[in-house]
């Protein structure tokens, strides 16, 4: 297992080792001790989620606010996606920056997305099964979103806009500028 720091502070790419034999392969998908030693992260995962989507589906950019913020460890069980993380932490040196990586059942990569990030993915294969661990429980009143095709963020989802399939929630999500404006405190 290789744990590689991405250009975004506290966001980590995990390249797993596959052990093949005549029966197939074995993969250790997560080891808390190895991960916490390499990254310093001391959290614990409390919820697992899985989704299935078809080509062109774009999910995100989603996040949870306040005490319900979530760190996620994401991977693809079947198919191929472009996974995207955006740093929403105003005090971070990577605030407003995004990181994109292809996750697939061929490369077995995983991405650790820390609390204070927005996350999303686009499906590049005919079908994809996406699995993720969360370190906090989902809370609907605390959910937030940024439109995935926001022009200021300018993320290349590797899916033409004409092929993109978004939920009504994602179509109605606010802009990056709206998110930033909501961070500013009124002057006194």
Domain count within the chain? 1
7 lies in some domain? no
- How far apart, in whole angstroms, are the C-alpha atoms of residue 34 and residue 49? 23
63 lies in some domain? yes
- Note if 78 is an active site residue: no
The phi, psi pair for 167, rounded to 5°, reads -75, 160
Given 44, 62, 99, 147, the catalytic residue: 62
Helix (H) or strand (E) holding 3: strand 2-5
- How far apart, in whole angstroms, are the C-alpha atoms of residue 6 and residue 186? 34
CB of 24 within 8 A of CB of 30?
no
15 lies in some domain? no
The phi, psi pair for 133, rounded to 5°, reads -100, 145
Tens-digit pLDDT profile for residues 115-131: 999 999 999 999 999 99
- How far apart, in whole angstroms, are the C-alpha atoms of residue 105 and residue 81? 10
Residue 51 belongs to what domain range?
A: 45-182
The phi, psi pair for 140, rounded to 5°, reads -55, -45
- How far apart, in whole angstroms, are the C-alpha atoms of residue 105 and residue 109? 8
- How far apart, in whole angstroms, are the C-alpha atoms of residue 56 and residue 158? 9
- Note if 147 is an active site residue: no
178 lies in some domain? yes
User: What is the full per-residue pLDDT of the chain (188 aa) written as tens digits?
Assistant: 899 999 999 999 999 887 888 998 888 889 999 999 999 999 999 999 999 999 999 999 999 999 999 999 999 999 999 999 999 999 999 999 999 999 999 999 999 999 999 999 999 999 999 999 999 999 999 999 999 999 999 999 999 999 999 999 999 999 999 999 988 644 44
Give pLDDT, residue 25.
82
55 lies in some domain? yes
The CATH number linked to 68 is: 2.60.120.10
5 lies in some domain? no
Given 109, 119, 132, 147, the catalytic residue: 132
Tens-digit pLDDT profile for residues 128-158: 999 999 999 999 999 999 999 999 999 999 9
Structure tokens belonging to residue 176: 């990056």
Give pLDDT, residue 188.
41
CB of 62 within 8 A of CB of 140?
no
Residue 167 CB partners (closer than 8 Å, separation 6+)? 59
Residue with tokens 């686009």: 122
60 lies in some domain? yes
122 lies in some domain? yes
């Amino acid at each position: 297992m290789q744990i590689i720091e991405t250009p975004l502070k506290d966001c980590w790419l995990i390249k797993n080792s596959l052990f093949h034999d005549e029966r197939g392969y074995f993969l250790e998908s997560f080891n808390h001790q190895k991960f916490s030693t390499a990254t310093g992260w001391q959290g614990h995962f409390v919820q697992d989620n899985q989704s299935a989507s078809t080509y062109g589906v774009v999910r995100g950019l989603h996040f949870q606010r306040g005490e319900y913020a979530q760190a996620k460890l994401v991977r693809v069980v079947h198919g191929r996606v472009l996974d995207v993380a955006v740093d929403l932490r105003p005090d971070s040196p990577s605030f407003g920056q995004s990181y994109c990586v292809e996750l697939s059942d061929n490369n077995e990569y995983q991405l650790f997305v820390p609390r204070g990030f927005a996350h999303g993915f686009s499906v590049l294969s005919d079908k994809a099964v996406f699995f993720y661990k969360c370190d906090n429980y989902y809370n609907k009143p605390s959910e937030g979103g940024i439109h995935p095709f926001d022009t200021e963020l300018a993320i290349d989802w590797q899916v033409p806009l004409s092929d993109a399939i978004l939920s009504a929630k994602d179509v109605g999500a606010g802009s990056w500028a709206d998110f930033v404006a909501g961070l500013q405190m009124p002057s006194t």
